[in-house]
Amino acid sequence: MKSLVRVGIRDRRVFVEDIDERKKVFYLKDTIKEKKMYDFPGGQLTLYITTTTDKWLTDMTMLENGGVPSGIKDIMKKKNKMNPLYRIGNNAGEHETHVLVELPNLVVGAGLLR
């Protein structure tokens, strides 16, 4: 089991969960959708892998206040995007993994968050 720390980029929600590292990333997307009760398919979420050494941990205060600091933007690049077909363990660190969750633009713009 891996401990996942997930942070929503636009809704600023943080939560931690243990998940089987053999599960695929698309399963993680569906789990996030169900736990957060989003009104859109989990497949519309974009997940970015990060590490505890990244600056993003210090950028959390800005993120919580609605800004998206440069450290977060640096993580949100194609090279860090989690492939839905890979197992979580392929993307994850040894014990704990930090994941940024990007919501679809249409959802945020329409105010469809619960």
Query: Domain residue spans in the chain?
Result: 2-110
Q: Say whether 75 sits in a helix, a strand or coil.
A: helix
Query: Whole-structure pTM over 0.75, yes or no?
Result: no
The third-level CATH classification (topology) of the domain covering 2-110 is Ubiquitin-like (UB roll) (3.10.20)
pLDDT in the model for residue 54: 55
User: What are the pLDDT digits (tens) for 75-85?
Assistant: 788 788 888 88
User: What are the pLDDT digits (tens) for 31-53?
Assistant: 888 887 788 899 999 988 876 65
